[in-house]
Amino acid sequence: MRRMSFQWRIAFMFFVLLSNTIEIVSAQNPTPQRKGSMKIPFVWSQQIKHSAGAAAAFYVIDKSSEPVFGLAYNPSLSLTKSKSDFSFSIGSQLVGGYHTATSVDDSAFIYADLPLLAELNFGHNASKDFYSDLGWFIGGGYTYRLFKNDWNSGPVGTIGVRGFVFGPSFTIRYSRFFAGADAGPSTQTISLLLNLGRYFDQVKLNNKVSRFSNGFRK
């Protein structure tokens, strides 16, 4: 029994010594933090980003600009991963709202805007590896719009800026729907969106590193 007890004591001391050695080696060689994930093999699920917020669509009636207030959701899929501060993406700017009767327009109706957009993104939020505090985008596409109980369609253009505001990342977007002769009035939409999702997992690390070295900009 004494011999077994001595063997267990030796084994325990060896385990403690091995654990301490591993801990020391790990402390001297920490696992490096990885910047972003746009440089690893292309993974569709990691190319998705989105934002949500409030929107106001304006149309002209009797020479007055009348607003329709609502909510907006902006899903987007990035199709590039080679440039940290640039990307080409496809997505939408879904807007839904309700117009109550006013002195300018006494009709009440549900409003919806369902565009398909292609966009060029620069700087902030262009990719998972972006380094800029500010950025902008421009694009266009085609939309289907529900306006005064009628569906109509036509081309749409969009432009906007993105950036950090006291911590969170926001997007300000302007869009214009160019209505045809039989599609009712054209509309201009302004939206304020909060950028969401796992797209920002590595953002703080990226921006912190970029302040000390430009070598990471590839």
Report the DSSP pairing between strands 169-177 and 150-164: antiparallel
Distances (CA, A) of 128 to 18, 42, 138, 145, 159: 39, 12, 19, 32, 20
pLDDT of residue 67: 95
Q: Point out the residues of the chain with pLDDT beneath 50.
A: 1-3, 22-27, 29-38, 211-218
Which is nearest to 128 in space by CA: 214, 43, 31?
Answer: 43
| DSSP state at residue 207 | H
pLDDT of residue 83: 67
Burial class (CB in 10 A: 0-12, 13-18, 19+), 30: exposed
Cα 28 from Cα 185, distance rounded (Å): 67
pLDDT tens-digit series, residues 153-175: 999 999 999 988 887 889 999 99
pLDDT of residue 122: 93
pLDDT of residue 201: 58
Domains of the chain: 44-210 (2.40.160.20)
Cα 84 from Cα 206, distance rounded (Å): 10
**CB–CB of 121/129 below 8 Å?**
no
